[in-house]
Amino acid sequence: MYKTVSMASLLAGLFAGPGLAETEVRWLHLEGDGPVVEFMEELEAGFEAKNPGVDVKMQFLGPEAFKARLTTMLQSDDRPHLFYTWAGGVMRAQADAGFLKDITADVEGAWKDSFSPGALSAYEYNGAYYGVPQEINQVGFWYNRRLFDEAGVDPESIKTWDDLLAAVARFKEAGITPIATGGADKWPLHFYWTHLAGRIGGKEAFDAALAGEGDGFAAAPFVAAGERFVELVTLEPFQDGFLAAGHSDAAGVFGDGQAAMQLQGSWNRFSQVSNSANGKGLPEDELAWMPFPMVEGGAGNATDTLGGINGWLVGAGAPQEAVDFLRFITSPENQREAAARGLHVPPMKGMSDVIEDPFSKQFAEKLAASTYHQIFWDQDLGPSVGRVVNDVSTELAAGSTTPEQAAQTIQDAWSFENM
């Protein structure tokens, strides 16, 4: 009985012919924002229409679940063929363990030339490429023009950290919540500390800490970053209960017009829509964005940027079709379309002409002029030390640690990981 069944299926398989033999491409993502997912579904359908033998399967996990489960998923035989990444230390650990596919041979040539070299280099490790970037983004202050008007704060006046502190004080006086943030997720708060560290110490301080020079992450610029952050924290700038709020809750507060600012990445434009009570978010003419202010006397530049070079990695053992699909989604045509819709800023040359969306234009200009683009620390430093950065940033915001302790904790974690 069993034999006949298996024979039958074998025969069916033989006669099905190459046209029907489906190759599955498992595509693991973490997008929850409508327009982005819609575009991804179009890409999937478009590729399948052109390649009849390929079945692209989109798999979704929310960001936190994604981070928790990916390690285990990669060890199994049905590991995703293409999966989301922020590059950095996590990617390097995955490559070291042999869970990524070396696609250098595919990338070389026209595909490679289509990217901005700086962005693509984030996907290079030990001389090999394991994936490609799709999006470059930047963190800064999203703000609500109407609330700025109400409190009589001119956004143009916020050039330095002290200006920001003054603005926060004005909002408090006017009875407006100055800033929304998601303390339960912790990473929204690490934008403050790491941005301040970058402004104060610049690239040099970060590189020196990575190289283990001097006091490492316990050095003066990192302590100063904590001190400047505490200056903000003592003004109580965040919405009530921010320590229990996740990023989506905070985006909801901002999208509902209940807070004047939110320090977030480019993607928040969509998060504040999808998490708002009315599902619409702030009206386009009230929504605006400005870069993180400079710190007086800091060694960094006002034009240094902090953000992601996010993209896709190819899992070990993935079929060639997965690489073809990756080439398809990051093709200049498709990325031009994404840019034209304002979904993100592709890390590619020759996109500025299609970018009409005012926000994307602003990001593209800032990123093109960037003197130093630092990847999110919690990704760049690897999952273990990265999360310690998130922890201490949250502890600073909650007033349960000191700037010195915070810096020392990061240094301890770093030296433990790298001993």
Partner 1 sequence: MTMLEASRSGRAPTRRPGLRARLMKSDRFVTAVVFLVPALTLFTLFVMMPIGEAAWYSLFRWNGFGAPTNHVGLKNFQMLMQMDAFHTALKNTGLIIFFSLIVQLPLGLYLALILSQKFRGVVLWRSLFFLPYILAEVATGLIWKFVYDGRHGLAAGITDALGVDPVYVLADQELAVYAVIVVLVWKFFGFHMMLYIAGLQNIPRDVVESAQIDGASWWQIARRIKIPMIAPVIKLSVFFSILGGLQVFDLVWSLTRGGPVNSSHTVVSFLYDFGIMRMRIGFGSAVGVVLFVVCVGFAFSYRRIFMKED
Nearer to partner 1, 190 or 373 (CB): 190
Nearest-CA neighbor of 339 among 359, 311, 312, 309? 359
Is 290 within 8 Å of 158 (Cβ atoms)? yes
How far apart are CB 276 and partner 1 at their closest, in Å? 12
* 68 is a contact residue toward partner 1 (CB under 8 A): yes
Per-residue x/- mask for partner 1, residues 351 to 390, rule CB under 8 A? -------------------------------xxx--x---
Kindly state the smallest distance separating residue 96's Cβ from partner 1, in Å: 7
Which residue from 253, 288, 294, 329 is in contact with partner 1, where contact means CB under 8 A? 253
Torsions phi, psi for 137 (to 5 deg): -135, 170
Pairs from 96-101 (Cβ < 8 Å, separation ≥ 24): 98/316, 99/74, 99/75, 99/315, 99/316, 100/130, 100/131, 100/313, 100/314, 100/315, 100/316, 101/130, 101/314, 101/315, 101/316, 101/317, 101/318, 101/323
The CA-atom distances, in angstroms, between 365 and each of 58, 292, 337, 368 are: 32, 15, 18, 5
295 forms part of the interface with partner 1 (CB under 8 A): no
Is the Cβ of residue 161 or residue 242 nearer to partner 1 in the bound state? 242
CA 14 to each of CA 11, 29, 53: distance values in angstroms, whole numbers, following the listed order: 5, 34, 15
**Which is nearest to 261 in space by CA: 389, 183, 373, 146?**
146
Q: Which stretch binds partner 1 (CB under 8 A): 195-203, 308-316, 344-352, 391-399?
A: 391-399
- β-partners of residue 373 are 305
Q: Taking contact as CB under 8 A, which single stretch among the options 52-60, 93-101, 137-145, 324-332 is the one that binds partner 1?
A: 93-101
Distance of closest approach, residue 253 Cβ to partner 1, in angstroms: 8
82-85: strand order across its sheet: 54-60, 23-29, 82-85, 309-314, 131-136
Report the nearest approach of partner 1 to the CB of residue 63 (Å). Answer: 12
Q: Quick one: which of 274, 394, 408, 411 contacts partner 1 (CB under 8 A)?
A: 394
First to last CA, the chain: 60
User: Which of 51-59, 126-134, 203-211, 244-252 is the region at the interface with partner 1 (rule: CB under 8 A)?
Assistant: 244-252
Of 243, 299, 340, 354, the one binding partner 1 (CB under 8 A) is 243
Residues of span 144-203 touching partner 1 by CB under 8 A: 183-184, 186
- 98 lies in the binding site for partner 1 (CB under 8 A): yes
- Interaction of residue 230 with partner 1, rule CB under 8 A: no
- The two tokens of residue 296 are 């007086």
- Contacting residues toward partner 1, per CB under 8 A: 67-68, 71-72, 74-75, 90, 93-94, 96-99, 183-184, 186, 240-245, 249, 253, 382-384, 387, 391, 394-395, 398, 400, 416-417
